[in-house]
Amino acid sequence: MEPAYYYHDYPVCPNCKEPVITGAPLLIEDDGTFRCSSCDAFFSPAVHLPENEGVHEFLTKNLKEPPSEELPLIWPIKNNVIEKSYLSWLPNISEGKYLITWPWRNIRFLPVLICECLRVKGDAKIVVIGEINTGESKNELGFPDPFSALGSLQYIEDMSKMDSGDLRNLRRLLKIDRKNVFKKKKKIHYRIKDSKNRHTTEISVYRPEMTIRKCINRILKYYKNLYGMNAVRSITQKDGKGDKRIKKLKDEGIIAISIEEREEWTGKKLNFPVSDLFHVILNYDNLTRFKDHFKYDCITDVRDTDTSDSSVVFISQTLEPEKLFGIVEECNPDIVFFTDSDYFVNERLFNGRRWQKFREFLRSTECTVLMFSLRPDSRHLYRDLQDSFTWHTWDCIPILDILTGDEDHSRPSPFSSSFSEISVPGINAEIEYIHLEEIDRIEEISEKILKIDNGKNVRRYLKYLPQTPLKLRGPHNYSNGGWVIDNILNQILDTPIFDEVKNTFEEVYSISSGPQRNPILNSVKEIIEAELSEDDRKSIFIALRSSRETKSLKKTFEIDEENPDVLDAVDICTWNDLPTHHGEGPSVVIATSYPPIGYSLNDTDIDKFYFIGGSTAIEKIKSVVNNRITEQITKPLHIPSRKERAPELLFEITGKIHVPETVKEDILEFERSIESGSYSKISNSYGKTYKKRARTIRAGTECVLVINEMNCGMFIPSHRLLFFKDETVDRIEHIRAGDKPENLQNRTLLLDEHGFYTSFKVLFTRFMIEIAPNLKIKRSYYTWNGFKELVDDSYEWLRNIRNAMKKLMDARDWNENRAKDYLSEYLVKYDLNARNPEYIRDHWLSDPDIILTSEGHVPVFDVEHPKGISDVEKIYRALDELFPEMCLDDEKARRSYIASRTLQKLRRKFLTDEKQSLHQRYHRFHDELWKEINYVLKRSDKFKIKDARIVKVKIDSPSMKILQDYKRYIT
């Protein structure tokens, strides 16, 4: 049976398509009209068909039951290729358990998938376990959950009435434009001209409660706060007849305001697919509403669980697990969907009851189960269930690279997701491959040796030989399991290839005829020399596979290297030690093997990687790097065999991904380590939400010492703003550490996996960048397209100060401390409100936290903004005088200042104020953010403060990190 054609009439703004884009709700007016909280468009939920005799005659002639004077706004559902693959596949299977790593934040197409299964299997019973929104306001409609969406789902099985002649006639007779959908309203229209910045802003707002006088007062207050009491020059008010009344305020003012009330269309353009509506009209007799054909129900408590006559039962995942899975057993379903299986698996961290019952159910049930995993940081927790399900790994980078490269005909809607909503992160670091033909000869001769002697010791020695930079004979030579090159030569002494092997090793490594060499070591030294000649501040790491090899190479460098400065710049370590190293300048890694599984090339501070080797080694490394196989922890790649069940599309896509057999073996070995539980070590090394540089409180500095009940301490800079979760309500409070340290007692700090303080400010910034990439934010005459753009602009003034510091270091050959001291003293001379150079040095020039997002690395600074807008203007003028090539001006300064004020205000409303203090367009973000905060609270380590006091550290001390030996820093 072919899939049906799907449509929906869930209300969507035909001007800006909310709540689909950002989740901004639609407000329901008393007359049934919808008002979009994002663009202020007023529209009818139906198209008003014109009173046209020709239209009536055409519809009566072609349809048994033609639509009345109004036709609901019926939208087509255009599913993406992944969704389509399940619509074709799932209705035709009858067993199996599947874990689907989903690339989107929700499972929008689930209602369509349910409908397809029921169309094909009419007597099937389906259970959906997930989040059910029962608290929806009667006065607004946000983005629907699958249960709410089902009532709007419609489909047509037979689209036979697609005659082009009928379609042409209908288009000729029926003209649909914005007048059929949108409403006109009286709006306050104001025009603000800023003569200083040469900006003109025009805005129309619909605020029934806002008179023109109130609007003028609000504008005056805003600009007086921003630019001072003399900011506004004049106000021009127009009446309904167009007559003007001009009021002069301050001749020296820079703001001129024009304001009037006028009636206008609330929607600029009808962004609705009218041609698809014509297809629906022609096939109106065949249009079937899901709820008219199938019964469905939901269970959010245990008082009423009789769903015996329902085809689909939605069950809230928040029910007590014993009750929840008891209801599932009573339903005896054919198919069970978990819309967020991570919700259950996350309790594996503390062996919670939800995890236990979920595991029991999965191992015992015989029904078909589809589990959607939405959180990459939860994937490793499924290890105990590996033998119970089949992986469908859609959100890994190589698969998304292929899918997002193809043309995407899907459209985002309440019933479908689009690839345009996905940001596939690139590799931040530059990568260069160095191919050595001499190592090709070693790879080739190794194959010949193995044909004669395939013993375990020989295999192990030859496996890693093409990767080692060590010499083959003498002190600190390459060995493996006690075997050296002489053991290999002895094994083939009496064979026909002995002379060829010995000559090859002699020509490549000079093992006996002269000073020994290694082409890999020579290449490493050439790279080091070239990189340091370009910038002697670079940190260079040589990443090797074992600690024994690192020790040998260090000794080799100490013996061979004539230039001691090179040794200061080079750090030789294993891959697993690499993330603990942080250099001040650019950093480079030189390696002969691919990174271990668990090392993310996307989440790294390294600027450039060099990979050295022969053809075989380079091929493997390219496969691992290009396919991002090292990210198996969070975004695993599973290539299904034909014995496994999966949509045909998954076989087609994974068939295009080339992974060498040896790499597959490493993946299997890694998966076995996951199952055995040894993963935790890798998790601690690489599973970072954001990265912190190790900050230091300088000796002699006063700071706050907090101590917990386990007598562990933490030093906190006195100026630091700390965020705490209120234990009774969803509210984040903040306290400046040094104001009254006693107020910190009995408060609880969150810690990351490295023992550092975790800030709700950082969490808020990261989450909002992820969830609001398309959110348009307006303030004054500035607009930011997406939350990240707002964050970037808000911290631009701090980035410019840091850029000036780096320019000083380069131009004057200064170290960082000297550049900070000079710049702090320099800025103070410009009459800033910040008059203390130490404050500027320790606050404005402190290192930011770096958060990893799908849009790249984003710095988050402790400081928000200076006291006033004039401070930022003075800073930009000062930096422009110092470095004119930075091209800074007052306009850029003002944009950055207003962005930082806007960001600060938004964060406080989200974290501190109640949801109702936010504009309705932010309500969905508020709900999602607090869901994330509670998730983090559940998983994070805690530091409950028992005592807090001011101390002076006697030696440089770690900042914001839990310490067991804190006393040695103060006594």
Greater pLDDT, 77 or 243:
77
* Per-residue pLDDT at 120: 93
> For the residues 45-54, what does the mean pLDDT come to?
80
Domain boundary among 628, 652, 667: 628
Q: If DSSP codes are grouped into helix, strand and coil, which group holds residue 190?
A: strand
Q: 109: which 2 tokens?
A: 């197409």
> For the residues 959-966, what does the mean pLDDT come to?
91
Q: 795: which 2 tokens?
A: 């911290």
442 closest CA partner among 324, 592, 308:
592
Which residue type does 120 have?
V
The answer to whether 477 and 484 are in contact (CB under 8 A) is yes
Cα 298 to Cα 128: distance, rounded to the nearest angstrom = 9
599 and 536 belong to one structural domain: yes
Q: DSSP alpha helices (H): ranges in 365-431? A: 397-405
> For the residues 321-347, what does the mean pLDDT come to?
95
952 and 887 belong to one structural domain: no
Q: 460: which 2 tokens?
A: 């192990």
The answer to whether 706 and 714 are in contact (CB under 8 A) is yes
* Per-residue pLDDT at 780: 75
Who's near 801: CB < 8 A, 6+ residues apart?
Answer: 823, 827, 844, 845, 875, 879
H-helix or E-strand spanning residue 296: strand 296-299
459 closest CA partner among 447, 477, 469, 468:
447
Residue 768 lies in a domain: no
520 and 559 belong to one structural domain: yes
* Per-residue pLDDT at 682: 37
122 closest CA partner among 250, 302, 311:
311
118 and 240 belong to one structural domain: no
The answer to whether 689 and 766 are in contact (CB under 8 A) is yes
Percentage of residues of the chain with pLDDT beyond 70: 93
Residue 651 lies in a domain: no
- Residues 672-681: b if buried by 16+ CB within 10 A, e if exposed: ebbeeeebee
Percentage of residues of the chain with pLDDT beyond 90: 44
Confidence at 635, pLDDT banded by 50, 70, 90: confident
Which residue, chain included where needed, has tokens 């939860």?
378
Cα 44 to Cα 12: distance, rounded to the nearest angstrom = 10
Per residue in 670-723, pLDDT (tens digit) is: 666 555 554 443 333 323 344 445 578 889 989 999 999 999 999 998 888 888
Cα 412 to Cα 735: distance, rounded to the nearest angstrom = 42
Domain boundary among 597, 628, 659: 628
Q: Give the β-pairing of 232-238 and 244-248.
A: antiparallel
Confidence at 515, pLDDT banded by 50, 70, 90: confident
569 and 467 belong to one structural domain: yes
Who's near 166: CB < 8 A, 6+ residues apart?
Answer: 62, 282
What number of CA atoms fall less than 13 Å from residue 631's CA on the CB side?
Answer: 24
- Residue 52: what are its φ and ψ, rounded to 5°? -125, 120
> For the residues 620-629, what does the mean pLDDT come to?
83
Cα 877 to Cα 884: distance, rounded to the nearest angstrom = 9
908 and 814 belong to one structural domain: yes
Task: Provide the domain count of the chain.
Answer: 5
571 and 459 belong to one structural domain: yes
> For the residues 828-844, what does the mean pLDDT come to?
88
Residue 639 lies in a domain: no
Tell me: pLDDT of 152 over 80: yes
Confidence at 580, pLDDT banded by 50, 70, 90: very low
* Per-residue pLDDT at 691: 47
Tell me: pLDDT of 204 over 50: yes
600 closest CA partner among 691, 692, 690, 686:
686
Confidence at 585, pLDDT banded by 50, 70, 90: low
Residue 657 lies in a domain: no
* Per-residue pLDDT at 680: 43
437 and 343 belong to one structural domain: no
* Per-residue pLDDT at 624: 85
Confidence at 367, pLDDT banded by 50, 70, 90: very high
588 and 450 belong to one structural domain: yes
Q: Give the β-pairing of 713-717 and 702-708.
A: antiparallel
* Per-residue pLDDT at 715: 95
160 and 296 belong to one structural domain: yes
461 and 528 belong to one structural domain: yes
Number of Cβ atoms within 10 Å of the Cβ of 628: 21
Residue 666 lies in a domain: no
User: Domain residues for 705?
Assistant: 691-752+940-969
> For the residues 873-884, what does the mean pLDDT come to?
93
Per residue in 236-282, pLDDT (tens digit) is: 988 767 778 888 888 888 889 999 888 889 998 899 999 899 889 88
Please tell me the least confidently modeled range out of 207-216, 410-419, 441-450, 578-587. Answer: 578-587
Residue 393 lies in a domain: yes
- Taking all residues of the chain, what is their mean pLDDT, rounded to a whole number? 87
Q: Virtual CA dihedral for 157, 160, 163, 167, nearest 10 degrees? A: -20
pTM of the model: 0.82
Residue 676 lies in a domain: no
Greater pLDDT, 248 or 138:
248
Q: If DSSP codes are grouped into helix, strand and coil, which group holds residue 274?
A: helix
Number of Cβ atoms within 10 Å of the Cβ of 172: 10
Domain boundary among 393, 421, 449: 421
89 and 163 belong to one structural domain: yes
Confidence at 338, pLDDT banded by 50, 70, 90: very high
Residue 723 lies in a domain: yes
* Per-residue pLDDT at 692: 47
* Per-residue pLDDT at 144: 92
- The sign of the torsion formed by the CA atoms of 814, 817, 822, 827 equals positive
* Per-residue pLDDT at 669: 65
Tell me: pLDDT of 943 over 60: yes
Cα 930 to Cα 914: distance, rounded to the nearest angstrom = 12
Please tell me the least confidently modeled range out of 469-473, 526-530, 847-851. Answer: 847-851
Per residue in 291-330, pLDDT (tens digit) is: 999 999 999 887 766 777 899 999 999 999 999 999 999 9
